[in-house]
Amino acid sequence: MLTVEKLRAFGANVEEGLQRCVGNETLYLALVKKAIRDPAYDQLREAAEKKDLDRGFEIAHALKGVTANLSLTPLCDLISGITELFRHKTDADYVPIAAAIIAKRDELTALDN
C-alpha cells in the first residue's frame, strides 16, 4: 500500500505535494497512483525508440508537469532531463534515458504493493 512515508523514503517532497492537495493525504496518494500508471510512460519509450523528437517532447513535458506538481522529485528530475534533450532536439540516444525513467517509475509503482 502506498503511503506518504514510502514516498518520503523514495525522495518525494511529500509536504510540498500535500500542500498542492490542500493537505488531503487521500487525494494526494490517489493522484500519485494515477500518475504512475499513466500510459504516457510507454508512449515516451516509443517516441525515444523512433527518435520522434517532437512527440517525445510533448509527452515528456506533460509528464514533467504531473511529476513536478506531485513533487515526485527523483522521477521528475529524470523526466526534466529528457524533456530538455527533446526540446533542443539534441542528438542523443534517448532509449536508455527513457528506460531509466521507466525503471524509476517502476520503483515507485512497487511501493504500492
Mean pLDDT in runs of 10 for the chain (113 residues)? 98 98 98 97 98 98 98 98 98 97 98 92
Q: Which fold has domain 4-110?
A: Four Helix Bundle (Hemerythrin (Met), subunit A) (1.20.120)
Q: Give the pLDDT confidence score for residue 78 in this predicted structure.
A: 98
Is 86 in contact with 57 (CB distance < 8 Å)? yes
Cβ neighbour number for residue 96 with a 10 Å cutoff: 10
70, three cell numbers: 506531485
Q: Which residue ranges make up each domain of the chain? A: 4-110
Residue 83's Cβ-side half-sphere holds a number of Cα atoms within 13 Å equal to 18
What pLDDT sits at residue 113?
A: 85
